[in-house]
A and B are shown apart, each in its own frame.
Chain A
Amino acid sequence: AQKVTQAQTEISVVEKEDVTLDCVYETRDTTYYLFWYKQPPSGELVFLIRRNSFDEQNEISGRYSWNFQKSTSSFNFTITASQVVDSAVYFCALSRRDNYGQNFVFGPGTRLSVLP
């Protein structure tokens, strides 16, 4: 069965600190996709990144970076020099292709609070 674990329920940091959000997944598929979404207080889930199972290169986008390691089934997300606007719930998700296109499994989310 597929599963996504985000062990950190809540994290609080002070502005400008670096913070890493952990994501560990389980799947027996050889082809799959991993995602991170941000849910600010407004409620909408905002897509951040998509990574397929054959691409283990780390990715950096501004203050955001992602570390994908198949050997440990992890897809961790780091925010460098955090800002108050980064306060949100962050979800890691796993998808695989099925007959209909995809099936998503979401982790429980990590609530990040960045204090001024």
Chain B
Amino acid sequence: DVKVTQSSRYLVKRTGEKVFLECVQDMDHENMFWYRQDPGLGLRLIYFSYDVKMKEKGDIPEGYSVSREKKERFSLILESASTNQTSMYLCASSSRLAGGDTQYFGPGTRLTVL
């Protein structure tokens, strides 16, 4: 069974704080993704990584950075949190092997920036 875990289900931070969201998967997947989900806007891709130390910008990377030092872990960093980054953050992973593609999601982190 694929397992994707996220460090927190709920997080409250103050404007200007540096925020780390952690994601870990246990299926040896090459690809990992960070999305944010907002009412009326659906899921939007922030960043993805297809290998250790590799990262690619998604549709809305501004205000975010990522880190992938180990294959199983993908971190999303908000360098200076702002109120417009209040959102639900979803991490996903997938395999690049044949028959892959399917993204498996973590439980999400609901971040509130005050």
Contact = CB atoms under 8 A, between A and B. Distances in A.
Contact of B105 (A45, A95, A102, A109): A45
B56 interface: yes
A116 interface: no
Given A44-B106, A44-B107, A101 B101 contact: yes
A91 B35 CA distance: 14
A95 B31 contact: no
B14 interface: no
Interface in B64-114: 88, 90, 92, 94, 96, 100-108, 110
23 contacts: A33-B101, A35-B103, A43-B107, A44-B107, A45-B90, A47-B103, A50-B101, A91-B43, A100-B31, A100-B50, A100-B56, A101-B30, A101-B94, A101-B100, A101-B101, A102-B94, A102-B96, A102-B101, A104-B45, A104-B103, A107-B42, A108-B42, A109-B42
Interface of A: 33, 35, 37, 42-47, 50, 91, 95, 97, 100-102, 104, 106-109
Given A100-B48, A108-B42, A43 B102 contact: no
A108 B40 CA distance: 7
A46 B104 CA distance: 7
Contacts of A44: 105-108
Q: Which of B45, B102, B106 has the most CB of A within 10 A?
A: B102
Contacts of B90: 43, 45
